[in-house]
Amino acid sequence: MRVTVVGGGIAGLTCALSLHAAGFQPQVCEAARTVEAVGVGINLLPHAVRELSELGLAGELVSAALPPRRLSYHDRAGEAVWEEPLGLAAGYHWPQYSVHRGRLQKLLLDAVRERLGLDAVRTGLLFQRFEQTEGGVRAHFLDRSSGLPTTVDGDVLVGADGIDSAVRAQLHPGESGPRWNGVHMWRGVAHHPHVLDGRSIVVAGGSPGAKFVAYPIEDPATPDGEALVNWVLEVRHEPSAAPPGGPGRPVTEAEARAGLSSWNLPWIDLATLAERSPAIFEYPMLDRDPLPRWSFGRVTLLGDAAHPMFPMGMNGGSQSVVDTRVLAWCLARDNDPAAALGRYDLMRRPVVNPVVLANRALGPEEIIARAADHGGALPAGQAENIAERYRELTRATVTQVNTHTSWAVPRHATEPAR
């Protein structure tokens, strides 16, 4: 089966690896002329790390990423209000990883090219539209190098082209644009001495628009050395309407210093963080309303194209990885591609759509918002209940992740559909 994957980001590349592992022939078509290691930090939760490990990438993740041991919530003065263990320390059989997004994308790209061949990812192809026939899907692209139209034929088309997905736009032509909550995120990376124990994800403040986040995304060369730290400052300011899509607005060092100056966090030097960040960009915090349907015949969506969500609970990228594994599993168990995509839709959409809505309601970060309102740590058990409720919603409790049946597809699958 030939599968055309529109989008060569983390979701699209993981989709190619999942499909290849299940015995299919994926072709990734990416709009950018080159795939470059750019971006800031991302977290992969244990449910995603399990899937990537079963794809044979455990060793690569160990080399590229850092496993945080705890999540630590603090108030604006830097005092801890709640903490919980992460990954192996929490009892999962797989770690959680913090990693530079560009480094993760390169890791996945290298794996795709090594396993599928150098021509498995075609760049500079800007998706225009698709048309379905009884026997397949033809995708139309603009070749950005030649300026000429080109087509790619396949049995299935997967839209993995992000929050502004052109595939989604064709499937849902009446849909409105992304939804903005009024928060801007200033994002950067900088070398900085260890924050707390050097293995913590730190979230300080309270409600969206009044938060600071920092975590290391690689180990320093020496135990006492400086680590590469990902940081985010959330702000609210004019304009009152959501900015248009496209590249993030550059934030000057002086502007970043001014924005960080009202924070008093004794365990991090915020001025140094701003000074050492090679580039700082502002992005609006966006999501989209959950869709009533992802799959139409031989065409479907996954990742941010299907379920873009606010970055509460570190779940967006991780849920995208799970999407790819379930999609490959469904396609391997049905000779009818449309029926397989329909099954994938019914298995994943009812799981992920509630996560989108939960993240609008702060997800697990309800803990820190409540603590800010409360003026300190919440009464015993409240924070734990909020965190566990969110894990259950996302199908990512320790028990669920450690014990669920593998999505791996044997090359000669004879298992009955579950």
In this predicted model, what pLDDT tens digit does every residue of 98-141 receive, in sequence order?
Answer: 999 999 999 999 999 999 999 999 999 999 999 998 889 999 99
- pLDDT value of position 188: 95
Give tens-digit pLDDT for 316-353: 999 999 999 999 999 999 999 999 999 999 999 999 99
Q: Are 365 and 312 in contact (CB under 8 A)?
A: yes
Q: Are 8 and 36 in contact (CB under 8 A)?
A: no
pLDDT grade, residue 416 (50/70/90)?
A: very low
Average pLDDT, the chain: 92
Range of the domain at 372: 2-176+288-403
Model pTM score: 0.94
219 domain residue, yes or no: no
The pLDDT of residue 193 is above 70: yes
376 domain residue, yes or no: yes
298 domain residue, yes or no: yes
Percent of the chain with pLDDT over 90: 83
Give tens-digit pLDDT for 357-404: 999 999 999 999 999 988 888 888 999 999 999 999 999 999 999 999
Peptide bond into 239 cis (omega under 30): yes
378 domain residue, yes or no: yes
- pLDDT value of position 242: 55
142 domain residue, yes or no: yes
The pLDDT of residue 164 is above 60: yes
pLDDT grade, residue 225 (50/70/90)?
A: confident
- pLDDT value of position 134: 83
- pLDDT value of position 155: 97
Give tens-digit pLDDT for 273-284: 999 999 999 999
Q: For residue 293, how many C-alpha atoms fall within 13 Å in the half-sphere facing its CB?
A: 11
- pLDDT value of position 222: 61
Using alpha carbons, select from 150, 169, 172 the residue that is nearest to residue 27.
150
Q: Are 76 and 373 in contact (CB under 8 A)?
A: no
Report the domain count for the chain.
1
227 domain residue, yes or no: no
Residues 6+ apart with CB under 8 A from 329: 22, 407, 409
- pLDDT value of position 418: 37
Distance between CA atoms of residues 73 and 327, nearest Å: 35
Residues 6+ apart with CB under 8 A from 335: none
Using alpha carbons, select from 345, 351, 337 the residue that is nearest to residue 302.
345
Task: For residue 148, give the CATH number of its domain.
Answer: 3.50.50.60
199 domain residue, yes or no: no
299 domain residue, yes or no: yes
Assign residue 134 a region (left: φ > 0; alpha: ψ between -120 and 50; beta: otherwise).
alpha
- pLDDT value of position 6: 98
Q: In what order do the strands lie in the sheet with 156-159?
A: 121-122, 25-29, 2-6, 156-159, 299-301
- pLDDT value of position 413: 47
Question: Six-digit token pair at 418?
Answer: 């579950």
- pLDDT value of position 240: 57
Distance between CA atoms of residues 198 and 194, nearest Å: 5
